[in-house]
Structure 1
Amino acid sequence: MSHTPLSDADYQRLAATLNRFLPQQGMNLERLDGFFAALLSGPEQIKPTECLPIIIGEAFDDDSAFPSDKALEQFAKLLMGHWLDISASLREDGAFQPWLEPDAAGELRGNDWAEGFSEGMQLLNEDWGLLFDDPEHAPLLEPILTLAFERNPDPEVQVPALTPTQREQCLSALSESVHGIHRFFAAIRRRLEEEEQELERRQRS
C-alpha cells in the first residue's frame, strides 16, 4: 500500500488536536509517538483506531469532543498517517527517529515518549516477556525503561534523576533500540509462520 507521509502542517494539526485532550488524560504527540512505536515494533500489531480511548483519554466518552463526524474522521486519518509514517521508517533499518518535543526550558527529556512506549507494551504485557527473558536482546529496553521510570511515582521502580550525559545517552539509543526490538519480534513472527506452514504441509501429505 502506497502511503504519502504526513506534511508539517498535518503534524501541527495532529499535535493541536491531541493537546486539546491533555486535560482529559489524553496523549501529546511525543507520547503518542512512543506508544505507536511500541505497538508497531512489538509482538503483534494493534490497530491505532482500537486504541482511541487510551490516546484521547476521557474525551473518548465525550460526545462534544469533536465538533462533527468529519472532524473525528480527519483526526483518525491523521493518526493513521502517523502510524504509517512510523511503520515505513521501521521497514528501513535506522530510519526511525523518535518524535521528541522540547520542554518549557527548551530541553529534550524523552520521558513522555518512553512512558508512551511503556504504555504500548502493557497492552501485550505477556508477549513482551519474550524480550525481557532474552538475555541477548533484553538490554534493548534499557534506555526506554530508564526514561519511562524516571518520573514514576512508585519509589520501588523510580530511577534516580538522570544527569544530562545519561539522558543524552538514553535519547541517542532510542532509534537503535526500537529497530532492534522490531527485528526481534519480526524474527519470532517469521519463525511461527514457517512452523505453521510446515505443519500444514505435513497434514496435507
Structure 2
Amino acid sequence: MARKQEPVLMHSISSQPLVFDELAHLAAALDTIGSMNIEMLDGYFTALICGPDIVLPSEYMLEVFGAETSLHVDDQFSDIPSLLRRHWNAIAAELHCTLTEQNAYMPILIERDDGVAPGNDWAHGFVRGVQMRPGSWDHLIHDEDHCGSMMPIMILHYENDFDPQLRPPPIPSEKRDALLEVMISGIANIYHFFEPYRQYECKPAGAHFPQKALAPNIAHGLTHCFEDYSLFFNVVRSLH
C-alpha cells in the first residue's frame, strides 16, 4: 500500500534557518573548498527538495565538494556538514509550509557591488539539481499547463550561455526584479506540482496525479511581462 511521505528532512538535525554568521561561515567554506557558492548551493538544494525523486546525500554532496574533499581535515570546516544539513532542513520545512499556507521560499541571492542581485548562480544551482534526475523533471518541463514555473529559472540559467543561440533575449534592468519575483513565486508552484509524486513510494505505470493550477500571479507575470521569451523557452524545453 502506498505510504504518504513527510518532507524529506535530515533527521536529528534542526530545521532552524542559519543565522547570518553561520551563512557567512558556510559561504566562506564553499568558496574555499566547494564547487559552488552559497547562492548556487541554495538553488541546488531547492531543486533536489522540490523534485519527485529522493537523491541521497552520498550522491548529491559529491556535486558540492567533489570526491576528493574531506571536511574533517581542517578544524575550521568541521561544522560544515551540520550547517549543510540544517540549511537543507530549513528549505524543506519552508517549502512544505507552502502546501497549506500562502507562503514563499526566499532564496539566497548575492548582490553585486551595484546592488543588483542577478540570480544567475541560483538558477545554475537549481538546474544542477534538476540534472541529478533529469528524466523525472520531464513531467513538469513538458507539461503545457505548468511548465511556465520553470521559465524564469531557464532564462537566468541561459542568460550568459557560451552558445549565443541558447541565450534568451536581453533582460532589461527594470524587468530583472519582476523576473526574480516570478521565479520566487514559481518555486512553490514547482514544489506543489511534484507533491503527489513525493507522497508515494510506488507509482503505478500510467498513473495520473491531478496537479494544482498555475497560480494566477505567475500566469499573469509570464503572459504580460515575459511573452518575448516564449520562443526561447520552447527551444530550451526541447533540449530537456
TM-score (norm 2): 0.71
- 2:165 equivalent to 1:156: yes
CA root-mean-square deviation: 2.3
Structure having the higher helix fraction is 1
**What is the Cα deviation at residue 72 of structure 1?**
5.0
Query: What pairs up with 1:138-157 in 2 under 5 angstroms?
Result: 138-157=147-166
State the Cα distance separating 1:5 from its structure 2 match. 2.7
* Number of the residue aligned with 2:73: 67
Structure 2 CA distance for aligned equivalents of residues 53 and 188 of structure 1: 25
Q: 2:79 aligns to what SS in structure 1? A: helix
Change (3 A) 1:49 1:16: farther
Residues 1:167 and 2:176 aligned together: yes
Q: Name structure 2 gaps, 5 residues minimum.
A: 1-10, 206-240
The 2-side partners of 1:122 and 1:152 are apart by: 17
From 33, 38, 51, the counterpart of 2:42? 33
1:154, 1:148 → 2: CA distance?
Answer: 12
Aligned residue in 1 for 2:30 = 18
Q: Secondary structure at the match of 1:156?
A: helix
Structure 1 Cα separation of the partners of residues 167 and 22 of structure 2: 36
Residue by residue over 1:133-172, the C-alpha shift from the partner in whole angstroms, topping out at 9 and shown as x without a partner, is: 2111001101111111101112231223311122112101
Deviations 1:97-153 (A, max 9, x none): 111010132211000000110111111111100001211100110111111110111
Segments of 5+ residues of structure 1 without an aligned counterpart are: 197-205
Shift of 1:4: 2.9
For the 8 Å contact 2:29–2:77, the answer to whether it is kept is no
Q: Tell me, in whole angstroms, the C-alpha distance in 1 between the residues paired with 2:72 and 2:200.
A: 43
Letter matched to residue 150 of structure 1: E
Superposition deviation, residue 193 in structure 1 = 5.0
Partner of 2:234: none
Paired residue secondary structure (1:39): helix
AA aligned to 1:74 is: D
* Cα deviation digits, residues 60-102 of structure 1 (max 9, x gap): 4256x7533x555421111111101100110111231111010
1:120-131 matches, cutoff 5 A = 120-131=129-140
Q: CA deviation at 1:45?
A: 2.7
Equivalent residue for 1:5? 17
* 1:9 alignment partner AA: D
Match of 2:97 among 86, 89, 92: 92
Q: Is the 8 A contact 2:31 2:37 kept in 1?
A: yes
Q: Figure out how many residues of one structure are paired with residues of the other and give that number.
A: 189
CA displacement, residues 150-200 of structure 1 (integer Å, 9 cap, x when unaligned): 01112231223311122112101122111111111112333675869xxxx
Query: How many angstroms apart in 1 are the aligned matches of 2:38 and 2:27?
Result: 5
Q: Amino acid of the residue matched to residue 14 of structure 1? A: L
- 2:53 is the counterpart of 1:44: yes
